[in-house]
Amino acid sequence: MSFFKNHQNSANSWLNFFKEFSSVHGNTSINTFKEKLLKFGVFFESFIQGIEGDYAGIERNFNKSSEYIDGLKKELKTVKQEMAKVKESKTTAENNLKFKCEELERIKNIKSYAQVASSLNQSRDVPQPNFTCIIESVDPSIQDSKQALSYLNSKLDNKKISENGIKINRQIPIHGKKVLIKCPTSNDCSKIEKLVNDMNGGVKARVLAKKKPRLLLLGIERDIPDDGFKDALLAQNVHLKCLMNGSNELIDLVMSKNDRVGSKFAIFSVSPNIYRLCLDMKFLFIGHKACVVKKGDSVIQCFKCLRFGHTNRVCANDPVCKYCHHHHISNECPNASREIMSSCSNCKSKNLSRRGGMRPFPVDHSVFSKDCPQYLLAEKRLNESIDYGC
């Protein structure tokens, strides 16, 4: 097209010439125009050649463009294939992730026997409310706890229970011709105590007093004196100070002791509201540190007989080996082995004394396991003896 543009003026002048040539008089000799016609022939021949050259250039450019477009199409096809692979990989990864999440969820939902047993309770830190009233027989004619329970129910019948709005969770006959009455509130126990003692009959009642909960404070600086703990806590913890303005709130130091890392720990007896507040806070500021707060009451286990509720210093039972479960000290066991230790002597003992129809306890765990059914029962009894104020 560049040739045509360069010779466009010449082409226009030749068009004008032929217009004039067609309008001349018929008697004019053609020889008059011979020279111009010869020039036109030369021009026309070069013009055609120029157009052919432009056409060849256009054709080459078109072929190049076609090749470039074909290359782009191939690249686009390759990109689409790669995108399909990436999409497929993404789908596979999502499916694998979904499967693993479902598998983790399934594993998380699988509970052991001990976990099922412990799930019947609420949180270990703030247990389900449970208050106890003890019924003791004073009538010599009452021979055992079952008779004491029958006598109690005959005197404290359903009508009196309903009239006084008393709520009872359980009635449990125990040794010594006694009956434990479990109630959801201390007020229910107080009502039962008053009704039974007002009868002046063959039984008497008393409400079992609960202990104050305890808190364990870790990492206290040793240069803080014991008598300065309370003042430091109230001065540096505003929420605690505000709550202590109540007349019934309590913080008493039970004991403190140096630890192995250059600090010391302390155990405090506190009121239920203080207990819940401090556990929620998780840390208390004292001195130059934020000290960790934990539950201060824990199940005591004897390392001599391996039972719960006392220590080996006051134990009057025969020793039980944690390895073979025979009656000798564990350190003197000739068959000491971690594999043998993976069974529980306490659950084995309970299975031997269980009544007919009762499901046996699992024994395939260590006697020191926190998931042991006997440990969980001891923990439940400990929590029931503490006033959490729920």
151: domain CATH number? 3.30.70.330
Using alpha carbons, list the distances in angstroms from residue 17 to 37, 46, 217, 364: 10, 18, 117, 119
Residue 93 lies in a domain: no
Q: How confident is the model at residue 123 (pLDDT cuts 50, 70, 90)?
A: very low
Considering the domain architecture, whether residues 161 and 177 belong to the same structural domain is answered as yes
CATH code (residue 249): 3.30.70
Domain termination site, one of 156, 176, 207? 207
Higher-pLDDT residue of 105 and 282 is: 282
Considering the domain architecture, whether residues 232 and 156 belong to the same structural domain is answered as no
Considering the domain architecture, whether residues 316 and 282 belong to the same structural domain is answered as no
Report, as an integer, the average pLDDT of 219-239: 92
pLDDT at 332: 83
Considering the domain architecture, whether residues 363 and 317 belong to the same structural domain is answered as yes
The residues near 282 (Cβ < 8 Å, ≥ 6 apart) are 292, 293
Across the chain, what does the average pLDDT equal? 82
pLDDT at 318: 92
pLDDT at 294: 93
Higher-pLDDT residue of 220 and 64 is: 220
Considering the domain architecture, whether residues 180 and 249 belong to the same structural domain is answered as no
Residue 1 confidence (pLDDT) above 60: no
Considering the domain architecture, whether residues 303 and 390 belong to the same structural domain is answered as yes
- Going edge to edge, which strands form the sheet with 264-270? 251-258, 264-270, 214-220, 289-295, 283-286
Residue 7 confidence (pLDDT) above 90: no
Residue 90 lies in a domain: no
Residue 331 lies in a domain: yes
Considering the domain architecture, whether residues 220 and 288 belong to the same structural domain is answered as yes
Residue 128 confidence (pLDDT) above 50: yes
pLDDT at 380: 87
Domain termination site, one of 266, 295, 324? 295
DSSP string, 222-285: TTS-GGGHHHHHHHH-HHHHHHTTSTT--EEEEEEEE-TTS-EEEEEEE-HHHHHHHHHH-EEE
**Count of domains in the chain?**
4
Residue 25 confidence (pLDDT) above 60: no
Report, as an integer, the average pLDDT of 276-289: 91
Phi, psi of 148 (to 5 degrees): -65, -40
Q: Look at the chain and count its residues.
A: 390
Q: In whole angstroms, what is the distance from residue 51 CA to residue 40 CA?
A: 16
Q: How confident is the model at residue 122 (pLDDT cuts 50, 70, 90)?
A: very low
Helix (H) or strand (E) holding 196: helix 186-199
Asked if 213 and 387 count as a contact pair (C-beta separation under 8 A), the reply is: yes
Report, as an integer, the average pLDDT of 185-198: 90
Give residue-wise pLDDT tens across range 358-372. Answer: 788 898 888 999 999
Q: In whole angstroms, what is the distance from residue 264 CA to residue 284 CA?
A: 14
Q: In whole angstroms, what is the distance from residue 167 CA to residue 193 CA?
A: 13
Residue 320 lies in a domain: yes
Residue 359 lies in a domain: yes
136: number of CA atoms within 13 Å, CB side? 8
Residue 123 lies in a domain: no
pLDDT at 334: 80
Give the range of the structural domain holding residue 354, as residue numbers without chain letter.
Answer: 299-390
Considering the domain architecture, whether residues 261 and 194 belong to the same structural domain is answered as no
Residue 100 lies in a domain: no
Q: In whole angstroms, what is the distance from residue 299 CA to residue 199 CA?
A: 38
Considering the domain architecture, whether residues 315 and 380 belong to the same structural domain is answered as yes
Q: In whole angstroms, what is the distance from residue 241 CA to residue 375 CA?
A: 36
Considering the domain architecture, whether residues 7 and 31 belong to the same structural domain is answered as yes
pLDDT at 324: 83
Residue 116 lies in a domain: no
Q: In whole angstroms, what is the distance from residue 32 CA to residue 144 CA?
A: 158
Domain termination site, one of 52, 78, 104? 78
pLDDT at 120: 43
Considering the domain architecture, whether residues 261 and 326 belong to the same structural domain is answered as no
Considering the domain architecture, whether residues 37 and 8 belong to the same structural domain is answered as yes
